[in-house]
Amino acid sequence: MDKILEVKDLKVTFDTYGGSVQAVRGINFDLHKGETLAIVGESGSGKSVTTKALMGLIPKPAGKIPSGEIMFEGKDIAKMKDKDMQKIRGRDISMIFQDPMTSLNPTMKVKTQIMEGLIKHQKMSSSKAKERAIELLELVGIPDPKTRIEQYPHQFSGGMRQRVVIAIALACNPKILLADEPTTALDVTIQAQILELMKDIQKKTEASIIFITHDLGVVANVADRVAVMYAGKIVEIGTVDDIFYNPKHPYTWGLLGSMPTVDSKEDELFAIPGTPPDLMNPPKGDAFAARNPFAMKIDTEEEPPMFKVSDTHYAATWLLHEDAPEVDPPESVKRRMKDITANGSDQKGDES
């Protein structure tokens, strides 16, 4: 597949009264046409900051991109002026934010908010833009779009508002869609509908999607590849099968082990001990070392490189070094992997 986006050694910092926060600390990944890449990790790992950097939305002057490249169609958008970025934002790269109520202007009708991008980027007349806006509401599954388009955001339910936000993001047929935890504020039933909608839209539009989430259950159903972030770095990246069935980083083990499943018979959920490090003063060595029960002396001294597991799978852990002791994932992780495998087999059987 052709690459549509390449991120190289991206760093993002924020100046505060207490010092500089190193929110993203040199990440590398690419995105292929028509692919869904999920970026997962707990709060504060740098997921949302990464997407804001891709959109050119890092707040200035406090926020900076001191180094790195974001290559989109041969141009480094990390170094673009805001005026030039405005031509790309919304047209070529679009974003779905996690809270639809704060994403929509409560004082403007839905039609105005959808038409805005069409008129600005597509140079459509008001009448053509309105026709397209109605088509978009229909595409995202809102019934009676001709009537609903004249309404205000407060007249929609939470799930319907998120569909409106998706319609706005899709208005200009973007090549890349950034979805920042788009189902967080929704109940489980509506979450499933929104995820199904995004998969359906991707088939129709062939857009590439970067899906930000802390919910590994969501990842299994929507992503082609997964990047696991911790303390501003990508610590493991691979296909969905690589991450779920053959995880290599202890942090990924922790995330999988803390995932509840319907079939689980355990009384208590597994939790990763400790808290993420202070990114104003990142620790020496592996940032996960203090929370890693399998940490070795080298973990506190040197930062691990990305070790190659396979052509599609890489992980930054010293456990993959040829001289490291052989360590298996904890039993809680193995049980989760078995549950996921069993559920995946059931779903494949249902689909066939």
Where are the domains positioned within the chain?
229-351
Give CA–CA dist 64/185, Å, rounded. Answer: 29
φ/ψ of 24, rounded to 5, equals -125, 125
Best CA proximity match to 12, nearest among 75, 42, 55, 73: 55
Q: What is the pLDDT along the chain (352 residues), one digit of tens a residue?
A: 689 999 999 999 999 999 999 999 999 999 999 999 999 999 889 999 999 999 999 998 999 999 999 999 889 999 999 899 988 998 899 998 877 778 899 999 999 999 998 998 888 999 999 999 999 999 888 999 999 999 999 999 888 898 899 889 888 889 999 998 887 767 777 778 888 888 888 888 889 999 998 878 788 888 999 999 999 999 999 999 999 999 999 999 999 888 776 665 655 667 888 999 999 999 999 999 999 999 999 999 999 999 999 999 999 999 999 999 999 888 777 777 777 666 554 444 444 3
Q: What residue type is assigned to position 283 of the chain?
A: P
DSSP bridge partners of 36: 209
Q: What is this structure's pTM?
A: 0.90
Task: Give the three-class secondary structure for 227.
Answer: strand
Task: Quickly list DSSP for 138-204.
Answer: HHTT-SSHHHHTTS-GGGS-HHHHHHHHHHHHHTT--SEEEEESTTTTS-HHHHHHHHHHHHHHHHH
CATH number for region 229-351: 3.40.50.300
Answer yes or no: are the C-beta atoms of 315 and 235 closer than 8 Å: yes
Among 20, 80, 23, 25, residue whose Cα is nearest residue 55:
80
